[in-house]
Amino acid sequence: MIQKDKNDLFIDDTRYSRQISLPGIGRAGQFLLSQKRVLVIGAGGLGSPLLFALAGAGIGHITIVDSDTVSESNLNRQFLYRAADIGQQKARLASERLLEYHPDLSVDPVCELLSDVNAPGLIQTHDLVIAAVDNRQTRILINKYCCIFRKVLVDGGVRAFSGYAAVIEPGRTPCYHCLFGIDEKSRIKDPPGVLGSIAGTIGSLEATLAVIMLLGLKNPLDGEIMYFHAGNMSFDRLKIERDPKCPHCSALWKQPSGAAGAREKEPESVK
Partner 1 sequence: MTIKYYAQLIDWTGCTQEELPVTAEEDSGISPVSVSSGKVSVRMVLSALESRHKEPFKVNIYDSATDTLQDDFFILLNGRHLARLQGLDTLVSDTDILSVIPVTEAG
Residue from 97, 122, 180, 210 that binds partner 1 (CB under 8 A)? 180
Using CB under 8 A as the binding rule, whether residue 130 contacts partner 1 is answered as: no
Using CB under 8 A as the binding rule, whether residue 74 contacts partner 1 is answered as: no
Which residue, among 187, 191, 235, 213, has the nearest Cα to 36 in the 3D structure?
Answer: 213
Give least dist CB 188 to partner 1, A. Answer: 5
SS (H, E, C) the chain: CEEECCCCCEEECCCCHHHHCCCCCHHHHHHHHHCCEEEEECCCCCHHHHHHHHHHHCCCEEEEECCCECCHHHHHCCCCCCHHHCCCEHHHHHHHHHHHHCCCCEEEEECCCCCCCCHHHHHHCCCEEEECCCCHHHHHHHHHHHHHHCCEEEEEEEEECEEEEEEECECCECCHHHHHCCCCCCCCCCCCCECHHHHHHHHHHHHHHHHHHHCCCCCCCCCEEEEEECCCCEEEEEECCCCCCCCCCHHHHHCCCCCCCCCCCCCHHHC
Using CB under 8 A as the binding rule, whether residue 240 contacts partner 1 is answered as: yes
- Contact set for partner 1, span 29-48 (CB under 8 A): 42, 44-47
Residue from 38, 90, 110, 134 that binds partner 1 (CB under 8 A)? 134
Using CB under 8 A as the binding rule, whether residue 186 contacts partner 1 is answered as: yes
Using CB under 8 A as the binding rule, whether residue 73 contacts partner 1 is answered as: no
Q: Total residues at the site for partner 1 (CB under 8 A)?
A: 43
Using CB under 8 A as the binding rule, whether residue 179 contacts partner 1 is answered as: yes
Using CB under 8 A as the binding rule, whether residue 159 contacts partner 1 is answered as: yes
Give least dist CB 29 to partner 1, A. Answer: 29
Residue from 22, 28, 35, 192 that binds partner 1 (CB under 8 A)? 192
Using CB under 8 A as the binding rule, whether residue 113 contacts partner 1 is answered as: no
Give least dist CB 183 to partner 1, A. Answer: 8
Using CB under 8 A as the binding rule, whether residue 135 contacts partner 1 is answered as: yes
Contact residues toward partner 1 (CB under 8 A) are 42, 44-47, 131-136, 139, 156-164, 179-180, 182, 186-188, 191-192, 194, 199, 227, 229, 231-232, 234, 236, 238-241, 243, 245
